[in-house]
Structure 1
Amino acid sequence: MATLAELLDQGRIVPYLGPGMLALCPDATVPATPLALADLMTAQVSVPHKIRKRLTQAAQFIENFKHRKSVVHLMNQAFAAPTTPSALHRALARSNAGLLVDAWYDDTLATALAQERPEGGWLQLQGLSQSEHFGHWTGAYAADGSFLPQAPGGAQPILYKPIGGHAPAGNYLVSDSDYVEVLTEIDIQTPIPAAVQAWRTGRHFLFLGCRFDDQLTRSFARQIMKRSSDRHWAVLPEEPTRMEARFLQEQGITRIAQPLARFADELVAALQDTATV
């Protein structure tokens, strides 16, 4: 644990957060899994029974037979409730990580950054849906949520939300067509911001609250990690599936078979120890 804390303190680790991080937030009421989000959306809009539990397909049906605005409205409703950041969210926000990846739609990590860095000075980059922003893959936002025509240079911390997020503008990659557009280009890195590509080079990734039992999550992680270090870690207390195990091996990811809450407590303590040295 001390090694991870030291690497974070040196800015050599990229934290990569998944929806499982919400389990560390006792007051979280927003959906914390794709299934929970699909259930929430299909409880309000009728979709065929066979796709009710499939998030991207359900969202695509709503987009086709209602409107894209209906999808965005449902997503905005689903993630409107504020969530108090956990101790780990806050520790990561005040760490020396120059890049933090958040692969879910909630605002928790952005809230932690705002709390821990009230002076601002951090940047948010969000993936954009081509159905709403054709030809533009990423939206850039200042710490106060204001839109930036282009991402500024410099060493400011970057919060990268590859599938979009609730705040500040309700950008979401959630339907089949959203993902098809991105996956068509992601192999050549077009949808991944240049600042993210530059920062990840040679660095390690630490996956927190992530599962890799879905092709989409594996594809995004694989492409975001490209040209990084050959040594990474993932907190994965559950026994990995066959495809997850293969992915971990291929990407040089060491599994940490520890409950996320226990790992969070230990890493927060280790970061505090590092800060006092």
Structure 2
Amino acid sequence: MSAGITEIARQLEAGAVIPYLGSGMLALCEGVTVPATPGALAAVMTAKVSVPHKIRARLTQAAQFIENFKHRKSVVMLMDEAYAAVPVPSQLHRTLATSGATLWVDSWYDDTLLAAVRAAHPQGGWRQIQGLSQSEHFGQWTADYDANDQVVDAPANATTRLLYRPIGGHSPASNYLVSDSDFVEVLTEIDIQTPIPEVVQERRKERRFLFLGCRFDDQLTRSFARQIMKRSSDTHWAVLPEEPTRMEARFLEEQGIAPIPMPLAEFGALLADALQPVLAR
């Protein structure tokens, strides 16, 4: 296993690996806590707005009910409250932010990785791209922000590091894909790649993905990962401490993702150690 992590470290520092982070990364963070699962987020939202019991635990349906019977602004307000605090980035967040990666994919709403990237690259040279809700930005799939949180219209150049947040995020503009209608709009077009920025499509070519804190036990997460990975390398990795479900195992095999069965914290420590001699070369 150590030889495998050494190879991941080598390719990561060479820019050949794309870290793909899920909400499970929050388990590594200390200090403030924010909702780290769809169920936890649904509980936070429905504790403040009355939602029918049968959909209270279903995040996208609960958000859709609030959007329909309150207002989209109510959904955004609840999301802002849930993710206003920023957890302290873990060692693994910091390792990834300071690595040679030129593209990170962050598939949850918190700003933890964003904070790590800001700290690692205070002089800029990076930007974030966030997915947009069609109910708020009809016809525009993404928004680009520079290191100073300003909207950027010009395409990123080849040396610009990219933080891609396909379902949006708290900072800087409260962009969230969270309701049924948000995801229906994206999933209707994602097979032909329309919602995925061209620069991401170009940057992923021949690259290998490293999935961290991700589970693939529901159709939504599998669909996003499958389409974001399209036309990349045919071999990837996923750190999965838990035994994968039957559907997860099938997805991993289909996509050429090799599971690494160890706790995230242990993997993070080993990766940081493996990167030291790579950086010293």
TM-score (ref. length: structure 2): 0.97
SS of the aligned residue for 1:106 comes to coil
CA distance in 2, matches of 1:53, 1:272: 44
1:73 to 69, 73, 77: 77
1:271 Cα offset (Å): 1.3
CA apart distance, 1:154: 2.9
Quote how far apart the aligned CAs of 1:240 are. Answer: 0.6
Q: CA deviation at 1:96?
A: 1.0
Matches within 5 A, 1:74-89: 74-89=78-93
> Which residue among 191, 203, 206 is the counterpart of 1:199?
203
Q: 2:133 corresponds to which residue?
A: 129
Where in structure 2 are the equivalents of 1:83-122 lying within 5 Å? 83-122=87-126
What is the Cα deviation at residue 87 of structure 1? Answer: 1.1
Tell me by how many angstroms 1:149 deviates.
2.5
TM-score, reference length from structure 1: 0.99
| 2:271 aligned partner | 267
Provide, for residues 98-152 of structure 1, a one-character-per-residue CA deviation record: whole Å limited to 9, x for no partner: 1000000000111001101110110100000000000000000001111113433
Q: Name the residue aligned to 1:23.
A: 27
Contact 1:17/1:102 (8 A) holds in 2: yes
Alpha-carbon shift at residue 273 of structure 1 (Å): 2.5
Q: Secondary structure at the match of 1:40?
A: helix
Given candidates 252, 265, 280, the residue that maps to 1:248 is 252
Identity of aligned residues (%): 67
Q: Which runs of 5+ in 2 are unaligned?
A: none
For structure 1, the 5+ residue unaligned runs are none
Secondary structure (helix, strand or coil) at the match of 2:227 reads helix
SS at match of 1:147: coil
> Hey, what's the Cα distance between the residues in 2 that align with 1:23 and 1:51?
26
8 Å CA contact retained: 2:92, 2:265: no
Q: Which residue, out of 167, 171, 175, partners 2:179? A: 175
Alignment coverage as a number of residue pairs: 277
1:276 to 254, 271, 280: 280
| RMSD, aligned α-carbons | 0.8
Determine which of 185, 188, 194 is the counterpart of 1:190.
Answer: 194
SS in 1 for 2:164: strand
Structure 1 ranges of 4+ moved more than 6 A: none
Q: 1:92 and 1:26 mapped to 2: Cα distance?
A: 17
Q: 2:158 aligns with which of 120, 136, 154?
A: 154
Aligned position for 1:46:
50
| Per-residue deviation, residues 6-35 of structure 1 (Å, max 9, x unmatched) | 000110000000000011111141111111
Distance 1:69 1:93 in 2: 32
How far 1:207 sits from its partner (Å)?
0.1
